[in-house]
Amino acid sequence: MLSIITCSIDQTKLSLLKKSLTETTSLLYELIVIDNSKNKYNISQAYNLGAAQSKYDFLCFVHEDIIFKNKDWDRNFIHHLSNKKISLIGILGNIIKTRTPSGVYSNIQYTNRINQIQKLKDGTTVSYYDNPNEEDISEVAVLDGMLLGTTKSHWEKISFDEKIDGFHAYDIDFSLAMAQLGKVGVVYDILLEHCSFGSQTKEWASNQIIVTNKWKKFLPIQKGEADTRTLKIREKDDLIQFTIRLLNLRYKRNVSFKYSILVILKYPFHRINLFIIKQLLIQSFK
């Protein structure tokens, strides 16, 4: 009934995922593992390859560094996707996607929707739960890729964009694409533990720019109770945070300069401008 697809580079992590599936599922499933130990595929290629091999109607794309925690989550998974109005589900999302390149999780906490356990570097865990309206499913603009669920018929209409290279921003792109077919939502009855942290590398920045430019005619997107004030707050925070990341990453000078000037012009009295000007000066002499 359920095809679970993962892109694997680590046998230890894969073994933990397999063990958690055995302990928590109650329905018939197949696990399709795309071996990427030789870095042959980007994640979109791996997921499309796995989906093409699948034999069941419900597709669950998961990172290999997760552990499922609640029994019968697979029944909940199928229940949500049996609703014809729903095209894509996940466990971490955001009700806003701004015009600025940005990830899913935001510093503006009340725009996040999430039910997840995060394993920390010291081995301890912390639980995140943001569901202010106590919904069964919260409609969001974008989802994080640690878990993405859809049907095979939806995937056959819109697959992962293999032009997005590497392993970043494919989830935002897929969310925005799947929203053309139905509702994209965060569900709260599938609990997993994420055993590593995402990285914000130069590839991350490049892919966020690519995806934002691809969908710029549709942005910004607001779902749920997001209002104009909340959107403005997010636009400001996303622009400042993305600019800081570009400067810290020593990203391409012309791109860093472009976003830096945008921050300075839009928010001339913001204290972050001192940091931005200092970094621009430092990098201009290197």
Q: Which two tokens stand for residue 81?
A: 């996707």
Instruction: Dump pLDDT digits (tens) for 3-25.
Output: 999 999 999 999 999 999 999 99
Q: What is the DSSP letter of 157?
A: H
Instruction: Dump pLDDT digits (tens) for 55-74.
Output: 999 999 999 999 999 999 99
Burial class (CB in 10 A: 0-12, 13-18, 19+), 163: exposed
Q: At what angle do helices 228-248 and 253-266 cross, to 10 degrees?
A: 140
Closest alpha carbon to 152 in 59, 19, 255: 59
Is the CATH code 3.90.550.10 the one for domain 2-224? yes
Mean pLDDT of all residues belonging to the chain: 95
Q: What percent of the chain has pLDDT over 70?
A: 99
Burial class (CB in 10 A: 0-12, 13-18, 19+), 164: buried
Amino acid at 2: L
Say how far apart CA 146 and CA 223 lie, in whole Å.
21
Beta-ladder partners of 6: 33, 62
Instruction: Work out the average pLDDT over 176-192.
Output: 98
At residue 191, the 3 state secondary structure works out as coil
Helices and strands, number each (H, E), in the chain: 9, 15
Among the residue ranges 83-87, 161-165, 197-201, the one predicted with the least confidence is 197-201
Instruction: Work out the average pLDDT over 88-105.
Output: 97
pLDDT at 280 over 90: no
CB-hemisphere CA count at 13 Å for 264?
13
